[in-house]
């Protein structure tokens, strides 16, 4: 076949040729400039990549979960050391420095073999790989509450009361303590593996749940409170009628995210920032089983039928599903977007009316819905020609139990609040913005301007003048924002003495209580009349001491308030008269959770 060549175009007129040459010259200059910038960026990236002590977070890829039998040393039981935080942990590989590490690097400081020092003094309790053992993991993600190496150095030197963490001020020099603090607050050289084999190897069975038809005590099992005492890492089970402790026991280090209850209220599950999930029998007051589902975890959620528990992990990037029966692994999702970009899982929630889990992705613009119904409908990731029975022309990506549905959004969302029917969620976007997503259609339907950083996860609802409203505290401003959930418009801002973190109420009380723990008035509670949307009064339980986290008893007649100090207390108030009824000394009671309010999804508390 004869090859045909295009005919040569006629030459351009001189003026057009000159103009075109100028245009091409400008474009070439711009291309060269951009090429130079790209080369410079590439050089910086190569320099960072060559550093053995830093893992670039955008390149870190946690290894996918390995099947049983995969080799890895599983850490032992986690105990107590420095406190882990509720604020977002730094991404793995983000180097942190402050005065303590600078002190350790002084020219006149003696040379210290810090790796050897860690092996000799810390590895026996915290693991040779810093992933935890008898003590907790020593990683930046786990130690963020201590505000860097200086805070960690103080704990190394002084120890922690009521724990097995002794002080080393008499056996180590100041330089050694500073060097060790800098070492344990620096990121690991590589992202560790934590898959099915590691989770299975970590499992500890302490007891078997006895066959019972009723609790072994005479208190109302539906009006129990589980009180988390983070000061010395204990939990108290409190009789909500008499306000007397039934028992107190040691927990894993730094519980986080709130305990979750089975639908019948018998079993409660705790989660620590080190990824330990603990199953406790409230009827026999016995710890049953524990397993480590991650290295750094955010929270847990339990399915509507009480059979499955989901664990949201920062490290590794995964969503782990466990059986509530024995805490065995049922499913591990590698947290990657549709495009393969890895992400931390910042939270997971139960959506009871949807029979699913909803997971928030920290680093990618997706929301995940995972079915907890064995008969869940197929999930079609692409276009569907027709949903008419027998006429569907599409390929399902998954269906049935643990079917994964991805909802794409314009930007990563965090800190979710759900309307009571669980048709819509509202999530925090960039500062001052919130986005409403309709879960049924899987699309954004509204963007809100909410300056002051609303803490949506602590939002509550009630009916106001025939309208369902959402009220949320702000983390950076002294206000409560009240929003109409019909059209997501702002109804009113209610001024408070300072920014707060928690807000609580109950269906049987006309008042909502909020704290000011994020501002200068940390000791003051504000009580809002839900009928008038006005401040009714304020309370200062103990001047100069942080007052926070209110929870109501089963019938809403009493409000329990925490004095959030190591030498703190739990204060019981009459919800009508605001008079103090009882005060129980406790060690930083950071949270208390009423069985009935949690399993019935009371509008006055978070879930």
Residue 163 pLDDT: 66
Q: 445: which 2 tokens?
A: 């339907």
In a domain, 144, yes or no: yes
Instruction: Find how far residue 66's CA is from the centre of its chain.
Output: 24
- Which neighbouring-strand residues pair with 270? 278
Measured at the CA of 256, the angle between CA 512 and CA 223, to 5 degrees, comes to 50
Domain contains 458: no
The Cα–Cα gap between 260 and 278 comes to 10
Residue span of the structural domain in which 155 resides:
99-184
Q: Say if 477 falls within a structural domain.
A: no
**Spatial separation of the C-alpha atoms in residues 88 and 273, rounded to whole Å:** 11
Tokens of 436: 């409403």
- pLDDT (tens digit, 9 = 90+) per residue, 499-551? 999 999 999 999 999 999 999 999 999 999 999 999 999 999 999 999 999 99
Look-up of token digits 């099915």: 196
Within-domain flag for 340 = no
Regions of the chain short of the pLDDT cut 50? 1-30, 32-34, 36-37, 39-105
Please report whether residue 130 resides in a domain.
yes
175 domain residue, yes or no: yes
Residue 390's SS3 state is coil
Task: Say which CATH number the domain at 174 has.
Answer: 1.10.760.10
Question: End-to-end distance of the chain based on CA atoms, in angstroms?
Answer: 74
Mean pLDDT across the chain: 83
Confidence at residue 109, expressed as pLDDT on a 0 to 100 scale: 58
pLDDT of residue 341: 96
530 closest CA partner among 497, 501, 556: 556
Taking 3-state DSSP, the helix, strand and coil percentages for the chain, each rounded to the nearest 5, stand at 15, 35, 50
| Residue 317 in domain | no
What pLDDT does 258 receive?
93
Q: What is the pTM of this model?
A: 0.77
Please give the structure tokens belonging to residue 440: 């049924």
What is the pLDDT, as a whole number, of residue 549? 95
DSSP symbols for 377-418: PPB--S--S--STT---S--SB-STT-EEEEE-SS--EEEEE
Taking the CA of residue 390 as centre, how many other CA atoms within 13 Å lie in the half-sphere pointing to its CB?
A: 0
- Domain count of the fold of the chain: 1
Burial class for 47, CB neighbours closer than 10 Å (0-12, 13-18, 19+): exposed
The reply to whether 127 falls in a domain is yes
pLDDT tens figures, 181-226? 999 888 888 778 899 999 999 999 999 999 999 999 999 999 999 9
């Amino acid at each position: 076949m004869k090859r045909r060549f295009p005919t040569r175009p006629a030459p351009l007129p001189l003026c057009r040729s000159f103009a075109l040459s100028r245009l091409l010259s400008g474009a070439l200059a711009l291309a060269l400039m951009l090429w130079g910038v790209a080369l410079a960026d590439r050089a910086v990236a190569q320099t960072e990549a060559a550093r053995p002590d830093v893992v670039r977070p955008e390149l870190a890829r946690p290894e996918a979960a390995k099947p049983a039998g995969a080799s890895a040393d599983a850490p032992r039981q986690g105990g107590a050391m420095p406190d882990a935080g509720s604020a977002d942990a730094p991404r793995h590989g983000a180097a942190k420095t402050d005065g303590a590490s600078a002190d350790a690097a002084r020219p006149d400081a003696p040379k210290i073999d810090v790796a050897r020092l860690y092996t000799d003094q810390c590895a026996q309790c915290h693991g040779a790989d810093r992933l935890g053992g008898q003590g907790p993991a020593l990683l930046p993600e786990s130690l963020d509450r201590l505000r860097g190496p200086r805070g960690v150095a103080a704990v190394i030197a002084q120890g922690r009361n009521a724990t097995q963490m002794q002080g080393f001020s008499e056996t180590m020099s100041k330089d050694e303590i500073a060097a060790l603090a800098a070492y344990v607050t620096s990121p690991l050289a590589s992202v560790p593996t934590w898959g099915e084999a590691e989770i299975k190897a970590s499992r500890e069975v302490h007891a078997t749940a006895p066959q019972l038809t009723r609790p072994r005590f005479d208190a109302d099992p539906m009006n129990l409170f589980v009180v988390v005492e983070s000061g010395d890492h204990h939990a108290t089970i409190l009789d909500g009628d008499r306000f007397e402790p039934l028992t107190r026991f040691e927990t894993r280090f730094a519980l986080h995210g709130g305990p979750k209850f089975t639908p019948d209220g018998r079993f409660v599950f705790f989660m620590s920032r080190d990824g330990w999930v603990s199953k406790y029998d409230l009827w026999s007051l016995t710890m049953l089983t524990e397993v480590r589902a991650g290295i750094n975890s955010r929270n847990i959620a339990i399915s509507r039928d009480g059979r499955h528990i989901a664990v949201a992990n920062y490290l590794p990037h995964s969503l782990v599903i466990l059986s509530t029966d024995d805490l065995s692994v049922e499913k591990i999702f590698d947290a990657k977007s549709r495009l393969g970009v890895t992400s931390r899982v910042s939270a997971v929630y139960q959506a009871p009316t949807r029979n699913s889990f909803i997971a928030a992705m920290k680093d990618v613009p997706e929301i995940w819905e995972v079915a907890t119904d064995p008969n869940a409908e197929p999930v079609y990731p692409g276009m569907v020609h027709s949903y008419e029975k027998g006429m569907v022309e599409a390929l399902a990506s998954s269906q049935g139990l643990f079917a994964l549905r991805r909802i794409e959004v314009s930007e990563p969302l965090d800190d979710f609040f759900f309307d009571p029917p669980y048709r819509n969620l509202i999530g925090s976007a960039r500062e001052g913005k919130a986005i409403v997503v309709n879960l049924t259609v899987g699309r954004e339907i509204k963007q809100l301007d909410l300056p002051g950083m609303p803490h949506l996860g602590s939002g509550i609802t009630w009916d106001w003048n025939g309208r369902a409203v959402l009220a949320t505290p702000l983390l950076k401003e002294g206000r409560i924002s009240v929003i109409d959930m019909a059209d997501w418009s702002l109804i009113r801002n209610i001024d408070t003495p300072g920014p707060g973190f928690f807000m609580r109420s109950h269906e049987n009380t006309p008042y909502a209580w909020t704290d000011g723990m994020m501002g200068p008035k940390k000791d003051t509670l504000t009580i809002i009349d839900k009928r008038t949307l006005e401040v009714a009064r304020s309370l200062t339980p103990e001047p100069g001491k942080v007052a926070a986290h209110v929870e109501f008893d089963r019938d809403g007649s009493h409000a329990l308030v925490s004095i959030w100090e190591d030498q703190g207390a739990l204060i019981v108030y009459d919800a009508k008269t605001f008079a103090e009824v009882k005060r129980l000394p406790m060690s930083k009671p950071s949270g208390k959770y009423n069985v009935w309010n949690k399993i019935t999804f009371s509008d006055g508390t978070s879930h």
